[in-house]
Amino acid sequence: MKNYKSLSVYKDRDVYIFGASGGGEIVKDFFECHDVPICAFVDSNKEKWGASFFGYEVISPKKLQEDAKVNKNVLVQIASSYENEIRDELKKMNITDYISFSAFFMLKKRKIFELFQQDKEFYKYYLENIVLTPKETKELWGRCFDKAAMDQKMDSVVALCMPPKTGNNYTVCETFFQNERDTMLCVETWHSSFYLTNLFKVVNASHNKIITAVREPISQNISLLFQIGDEDEWLVDQPEFWKNDYSKLLYKIGRMDSGEGEDCIYERQIRSDHKTMFIQNFFEEQFKKRLGIDLLAEPFDTKRGFSIVEQNGFEIFIFQLEKFDSIQKELLSFVGLDQGIKFYRANDASVKYYAQLYQEVKETIPLTREYFEDSFNNPYIKHFYSEEDIKKFRKKWEKHVVEEEKL
């Protein structure tokens, strides 16, 4: 078995990939990016013999043995989790010139460590903020490092940094994942800009693109609270909350009020865990404070329902959720995807187990005058929506306003 420290081990060799499945695809992509010629795939499954795997012929182990007898330049790259079994099979065929699957991944890791050597501050950041993070975050960075290890110049990184309940996690993100190009990396940042600067640094693409969205605040706030309640296993089954506590809580959270005491039993938990996720606060916290991007200082086309902003080296597509159906072609064009692609619809509250309660709440929830006025007089909504839009929103929710003493 060969051990190696660089791609030179493959130079001028006739390389066969043993494993015509997921592992083989990973190796193939890496080899193609680094101009390593591939002679053929090898697989023990006889049903694959003679077939084509990504344009390469799949041969039997016996055929590999025959080729190796007459060609001493053959080098086998194992590309399967059945590494030990394949190694034993190669030994039986007297083929000792091979590279293990584990050794292959060490080469990819070396590419990542090269990034750390170039930027000590990022290495420190990686150790403190990524190594011990939740599974979702590790998956995000895993995809970024895979792209970086390819040494293939990325045309664009598209990061979805959107407030919760604005069509991001599934509708937009899943659509882009399913149609991602080789020179494009799409990542979902779980409603946070915390990772963005270093994420763009790792992949080093020609274009750093961000997609975000806005939504009428009361609708977003209600939908968000249902999601919070679903995740934390409280709130959804508390009908008294929607009758008494909701407006007081949302008014304080929406204004980032940090006063002492709580107006309701849920205030402390929501304020500490989720306050920046309310759309009234999102862009101040996630864009202005963390990225130095003030979206409210840029013109927004309220008639078309979207705008493209360029600030601090970022290209940002921001759109109104209410007009999503009419701006899909522009969004696909911004990303660089075929405009005929259809968006998936998912994570829809109307089909979840709490759908009936959610509908009832939207129809009957009482709102304090204070919360209602604050929702439609803040700088956020006045910037991203026209006066006509705001009038329609006010008309929709005005009937829910009650005097506070009646709550």
Mean pLDDT calculated for residue range 191-198 = 76
Residue 22: Cβ-neighbour burial (10 angstroms; 0-12, 13-18, 19+): exposed
pLDDT at res. 361: 79
Binned at pLDDT 50, 70 and 90, residue 152 comes out as low
Residue 217: Cβ-neighbour burial (10 angstroms; 0-12, 13-18, 19+): buried
CA end-to-end span of the chain, whole Å? 75
pLDDT at res. 294: 95
CA-CA distance, 204 to 152, in Å (whole number)? 10
- The DSSP call for residue 175 is H
Using only the alpha carbons of the chain, give its radius of gyration: 27
Note the helical H segments in 233-354.
239-240, 246-254, 267-274, 279-283, 290-291, 328-335
Alpha-carbon distance values, 386 to 6, 289, 302 (Å): 58, 26, 6
Q: What is the pLDDT of residues 343-358, one digit of tens each?
A: 766 556 566 666 777 7
Domains of the chain: 7-107 (3.40.50.720), 119-407 (no CATH)
pLDDT at res. 267: 46
pLDDT at res. 176: 79
pLDDT at res. 379: 93
pLDDT at res. 242: 55
pTM, two decimals, is 0.63
